[in-house]
Structure 1
């Protein structure tokens, strides 16, 4: 995609912890989707719950894709919706678009809990190498060129189990919520020999692409919700044309249909 000015805008907290992540891709799947995975907390009566996330596995159309998380330990109780730190970014990457059917949270062994000022290990039951299944509020369909945040809501009160000898076990109870962070504008330009540049404009921000030389189709993704103008700038011999008041909704494709340019 040719871009004159990149439009910046995810709906949820792109300013956050910078994380090196990796994601396995399947090049046979048409279209990819950018995903951020964030965590927040439903409070519990503890001083700290320090988690070390190893990886998060997303199953798209039944195939697993692994996102490597930051290895540093963080106190999940520091991140609560409605506060100045509503969540923490734990991983990000790009996967083939499709239906998310399952999410698994895989932890390292360095988890700890602090109760009444005393820190002790927070152990997980054996046999959890495949991770903990996240309960999804829905099975989202990830659309190509739309960015999403997957918010993992960690329930501290339900996730910690105190044993008879005063130790603590970690059995994560996590709810997954999907939020679309951007939308699309698409359409078709005729005649194809106009070879137009397509400019999507919102105020001082412009994103550009070109129509396919054979089909005349175009798609501009990664757009924040709002109202745009779409300007078609063809090669010499055809007139510019502009469509105004184009509404973009997060997670949806605004299809402008076929635009026929005149000479």
Structure 2
């Protein structure tokens, strides 16, 4: 079970982990003027883990977007002690303050986020998470099914993970910037070796107070199912939770998705074995936390979201091939386009082509990575947003069993390459959630596209 946070304090990104960067300074051109860089973290959680522990050593900043790790012009915020943080504690709006750094007035264009190296770190120097086992590696993942694995950090130690930003340090003013650490995409299984890599996926976003809060029915939580909740636009997840059990919410099943830009979103609820539920056209005003459940304190709650068990499920399976020597980060995603036009993401996973020996040493990079998704064939339940929080859900039978499977290759700093295929289950198919399941197979080949 994951450690619980009170829901009002805590965000999935699904929330992502986020590094808050706040620059303070003046409007003058005097090169001697200084400002302050304030740093913190929050999380866009992971998938299928109880804990994702990372240990932060320092944060480096530079006014040049092209400066190499060894060139001049770097300023560093070095923590008093490398600090171990559980990214899955940083949910429902929680951020981890890391410290402040005095900088000359100017424009920061590059940030490097540096983690300790498991192989060289001295445990005596580390400020361990109070709920972690200090005999384990500073960076490691704990599985919901039991057990743990070291997270190898090939790109996160010496030079740090690079993030291109644009932060103006202006004298006497404060500018905040939040860096999302997407744990879902950052923890990668290394082929079939049983080893796991931490390949940090970081994104710079404004620090915002707007978002959405609501309640999931207790009946779903006590069934043992794990529900994922996300705010989406055109099938792109903007903010989400990791798969949630009751330990991740308070006793009333409350959730919160914070740090969201003002705009209109689809709120999507998914859980294995349950019918997808979508609240469309949720308008989030600037600086406002929209409450979907204003009646959450009453004995009889009409506003909580109740997910119903799926009666029939199918499977989308396949392999992804890339014979190039260097392979970009690759994902497989399943989306569904509703009758009223909105496209929502149902499930996704990052694939790994790397192979390792029993000692964790990389032995090669394979050409194929398999994927498999179990999907509800039942029609999704959809309702437009209402300010009262009482939603009139109806089954969208027009898209029952109809999905799109996407293979997505995302080379660094290049436009992602997307391949799509239909996954349409036979409406006449008869089965149960256990068996038989209809299976649809789609394969993708990204060899030489995009170029490494």
Q: TM-score, normalised by structure 1?
A: 0.52
Superposition CA RMSD, Å: 2.3
- State which drifts further: 37-46 or 53-62: 53-62
1:113 and 1:121 in contact (8 A); partners too: yes
Match of residue 67, structure 1, among 52, 61, 77: 77
Q: List gaps (5 residues or longer) in structure 2.
A: 1-29, 68-72, 119-137, 209-452
TM-superposed CA distance for 1:39, in Å, is 1.2
Match of residue 141, structure 2, among 113, 120, 123: 113
Match of residue 160, structure 1, among 187, 191, 204: 187
TM-superposed CA distance for 1:172, in Å, is 0.3
State how far apart, in whole Å, the 2-side matches of 1:121 and 1:179 are. Answer: 31
2:57 and 2:78 in contact (8 A); partners too: yes
Q: Higher RCO, 1 or 2 (CA under 8 Å, sep at least 6)?
A: 1
Residue in structure 2 matched with residue 102 of structure 1 by the alignment: 110
For the residue of structure 1 that corresponds to 2:200, the secondary structure is coil
Structure with the bigger percentage of strand: 1
TM-superposed CA distance for 1:124, in Å, is 1.1
Structure 1 residues 63-212: aligned runs within 5 Å: 63-69=73-79, 70-80=81-91, 83=92, 85-108=93-116, 109=118, 110-115=138-143, 116-125=145-154, 128-136=157-165, 139-163=166-190, 164-179=192-207
State how far apart, in whole Å, the 2-side matches of 1:146 and 1:135 are. Answer: 22
Deviations 1:36-84 (A, max 9, x none): 111111121121111100100011356211001241211011113xx2x
TM-superposed CA distance for 1:127, in Å, is 8.4
State how far apart, in whole Å, the 2-side matches of 1:37 and 1:174 are. Answer: 14
State how far apart, in whole Å, the 2-side matches of 1:145 and 1:119 are. Answer: 46
Cα pair distance change 1:127/1:159, threshold 3 Å = closer
1:148 and 1:179 in contact (8 A); partners too: no
Does residue 55 in structure 1 map to residue 49 in structure 2?
no
Residue in structure 2 matched with residue 41 of structure 1 by the alignment: 43
State how far apart, in whole Å, the 1-side matches of 2:152 and 2:99 are. Answer: 23
Cα pair distance change 1:128/1:71, threshold 3 Å = closer
**Stretches (4+) displaced over 4 A:** none
Q: How many positions carry a matched residue from both structures?
A: 148
For the residue of structure 2 that corresponds to 1:86, the secondary structure is coil
2:167 and 2:175 in contact (8 A); partners too: no
